[in-house]
Structure 1
Amino acid sequence: MISISRDGWLIIGARTLRSFAFGFFSVHIALYLRGLGYDEAQIGLLLSIALGGSAALTIILSGVADRWGRRRVLIICGLLMCAAGLVFAASDNLVALLLAALTGAVSVTSSEVGAFIAVEQATLPQTAPHEQRTTLFSLYNFTSYAALAVGALASGLPDFLRGSVAPVTTQRLLYLGYGMVGAAVALLYTRLSAAVEVQDEAVKKPLLALGLGPSRAIVLRLAGLQSVDAFAGGLVVQSLIALWLNLRFGVGGDVLGVVFFFANLCSTASLLAAPAIARRIGLLNAMVFTHLPSNLLLMLIPLMPSFELAVLTLLLRQCLSQMDVPTRQAYTMALVAPDERSAAAGVTVVARAVANAISPSLSGIALRYVALGLPFIAGGLLKSGYDIALYFTFRNVPLPVESEGLKDLV
């Protein structure tokens, strides 16, 4: 049985709560903007700005988290999430919404990037025994995807209540709820103990390039490769998939809420298998060989002739696509020394966030002016290239923790 400290459970609880809000936001936001009269290119721009704000916030906060205090930085992130939700609830002006997106505290994907996750990933290894790290990250992601699924189901509330409540009222209440979740998350972070912070000696060390020491070269290579995967993922973020299904098959928010409820449940189930697969074939193999089939399924989605077949292909893809998440997180933490984990998490998360921020605007342009299926094909090809390059780059790189006999990570 896994042994997790009180701080670990608080972090898992905070992520679960905000993932619920991210779930309904990511499915609903593109349809909401389209309903306000914005076109696909404008929607893609807002999604890119949201991800760009997340990248900027990560760059700023992950670099100072160990010095300012991890708890303090996480509280700031929760308050920014609250502020963004209140702006979306109060205004439908594109400039105001763009400014709210710039807070970096809104998620438009089926997963999460940003300062929240960078600081949490660096902190979590301190909340459980080393040999249970992959299991810990699987639980951390499992509860998140379960909450994302329920949140996605809640995104259909405006359409479900259309006959009795004005849609705009329900939509604004959803975003008000988003803001309240941000406040609740910030409150949870205030309960974290001093044990989540790094040791004084580590904080006082002189900052090296990007805060990294001996692991710098390996972490930069890993971050570079992960940025390719993130760029590809940004082409098909959950908000854009929801928009594509709406444009291609004419389905509404109530149906899409159910679709993404089951899609995120499939992702949740896949996380349960990740630790066992990693123990059996190794972290790197688990990352690569579960991801390649999901990329093929991604490219098949736009080729499906009916809504039902497209959804079935999407669900099959979701059964595989997230198995690499806890293994990737555990692999990154295993590559570096404990006093470099915040920096390593920050560098890799920032690389992913920056790359992820660029591509939604390109997808918006493709959806409007080029071809509806192009983002899926391009995303699948780029992700496959990432997997192959990752395998051949790191297959002969030993994990430092192997010498400690941490069988859960090899």
Structure 2
Amino acid sequence: MMLFSSMKTPPDILCLYGARALRGFGDGFAIIILPVYLSAIGFSPQQIGIVASASLLGTAALTLIVGFIAPRYELRSLFLAGAGLIAFTGLIFPAAQTIAPVLLVAFIGSINPSAGDLGMLVPLEHALLTKETADRDRTGVFARYSLIGSLTAAVGSLAAALPEILASNGWPKLGAIKLMFYGYAALGLLAVFLYRRLPRDHSHVANVPKAALGPSRNIVYRLAALFSLDAFAGGFVVQSLLALWLFQRFNLSLQAASLYFFCSSLLGAFSFPVAAWLAKRIGLINTMVFTHIPSSLCLIAAAFSSSLTVVLSLLLVRSALSQMDVPTRSSYVMAVVTPAERTAAASVTAVPRSLASSISPAIAGFMLAGPFSGLPLVVCGCLKIGYDLALLRMFRHTKPPEEIA
């Protein structure tokens, strides 16, 4: 599959790969310790779902703003602002103890309760990766970018067991969890160091387009609508709530949960090069659809199983399939718009995802407290299958340049 080719990788892309690794590691443990921390300070499942929604809603708002202002500002400055926000979030979150400040920090901060790569930095990185990559190599570059993020997220999942280990050695558990948030802040400062290495000549201020979206507006809006359905579905089983479901239904320990999410992230990571290889043979849209549907069926089946072994097996199979649309989706969006529209297109297709996914965790929180706690998994699976069929019907004839050639 030659995921890592022998060609020399440009320094700018290496910086982005490094920053993606730092964010992946931080998200890997943050999505697990977030519900544990909120439960430890007395939050109910419903309140945790509302916090997850607030986080996704704030992410959507910031991503939309960045996508439209990016052509008017130096990208390096925006990258540094995003890394600074990560550091700020890690420092402030441990001080929040009641619902109001927690919601505020979740809304304006960078902690992501979902396994997906969300936030203001994503459209900026996607645009820069595409700018420096040939069409034939684009999907492979996005696969490497996603692979790095998932591998480091897997390691971060293992790190989520640290509070429990420290607690068994005499540390106060709440204090150990807060220490992880400070580690999250340190990752933001390391990302600042990497982004500072980007040259200043990536600013597009001198060539600001009259409109952020032009000839590709219709296709971007249609993709955004479909992606929002997919994200709304995914919001029912964001990783923090999936962890909470496993904790409640099977009394899973924090160490066992961190091991599961490590394996899950690992399987998702190694699916990215497979997705790049598959896309060259059957196309980007077909790769997205025909790997997604089986993963949704596994999720639905897991909701009805009473065996922890069966549930974890089904969820791991889902992890091996469900993430193949990550690099292919990013590559497809960048391929079907003009270069001047790439940052806005990445933002406009990402923001509805965040907005839609910000609604469903709050609903899922109430479902988890209901008589059938697996209902969020069923709803998620059914909606995702509907999204896949609609995507195939609407875009199977809209080809990226490399498939037309």
Same fold per TM (> 0.5)?
yes
Note if 1:282 corresponds to 2:287. Answer: no
- In 2 relative to 1, CA 199–63 (structure 1 residues): closer, same or farther, beyond 3 Å? closer
- The answer to whether the Cα contact below 8 Å between 2:135 and 2:401 also exists between their aligned partners in 1 is no
Moved over 4 A (4+): 400-403
Note if 1:134 corresponds to 2:135. Answer: no
Partners of 1:318 and 1:332 in 2: CA distance = 23
Note if 1:86 corresponds to 2:87. Answer: no
Per-residue CA shift, 1:178-226, capped at 9, x if unaligned?
111112112211111134334733x2x212xxx2111111110011001
Residue 395 of structure 1, CA deviation: 1.1
Alignment match, 1:31? 36
Pick from 181, 184, 203: which aligns with 1:178? Answer: 184
Counterparts of 1:372-391 in structure 2, within 5 Å, are 372-391=373-392
Counterparts of 1:6-405 in structure 2, within 5 Å, are 6-164=11-169, 165-198=171-204, 200-201=206-207, 203=208, 205-207=209-211, 211-400=212-401, 402=403, 405=405
Gaps of 5+ in 2: none
- Residue 167 of structure 2 aligns to a residue whose secondary structure is coil
Residue 104 of structure 1, CA deviation: 4.1
- The answer to whether the Cα contact below 8 Å between 1:55 and 1:104 also exists between their aligned partners in 2 is no
Alignment match, 1:408? none
- Residue 369 of structure 1 aligns to a residue whose secondary structure is coil
- The answer to whether the Cα contact below 8 Å between 1:8 and 1:128 also exists between their aligned partners in 2 is no
- Which stretch shifts more, 394-403 or 5-14? 394-403
- The answer to whether the Cα contact below 8 Å between 1:119 and 1:342 also exists between their aligned partners in 2 is yes
Residue 130 of structure 1, CA deviation: 2.8
* Letter in structure 2 aligned against 1:33: L
* Letter in structure 2 aligned against 1:327: T
Partners of 1:38 and 1:322 in 2: CA distance = 31
Residue 110 of structure 1, CA deviation: 1.3
Per-residue CA shift, 1:144-181, capped at 9, x if unaligned?
00011011111111112222122112111100111111
Between Structure 1 and Structure 2, how many residues are aligned? 399
User: TM-score when scaled to structure 1?
Assistant: 0.94
Partners of 1:353 and 1:126 in 2: CA distance = 25
Residue 97 of structure 1, CA deviation: 1.8
Gaps of 5+ in 1: 406-410
Partners of 2:203 and 2:292 in 1: CA distance = 34
- Residue 161 of structure 1 aligns to a residue whose secondary structure is helix
Residue 129 of structure 1, CA deviation: 2.7
- Which stretch shifts more, 60-69 or 316-325? 60-69
Partners of 1:257 and 1:197 in 2: CA distance = 40
Partners of 1:399 and 1:356 in 2: CA distance = 27
Residue 397 of structure 1, CA deviation: 2.0
Partners of 2:164 and 2:172 in 1: CA distance = 10
Residue 400 of structure 1, CA deviation: 4.6
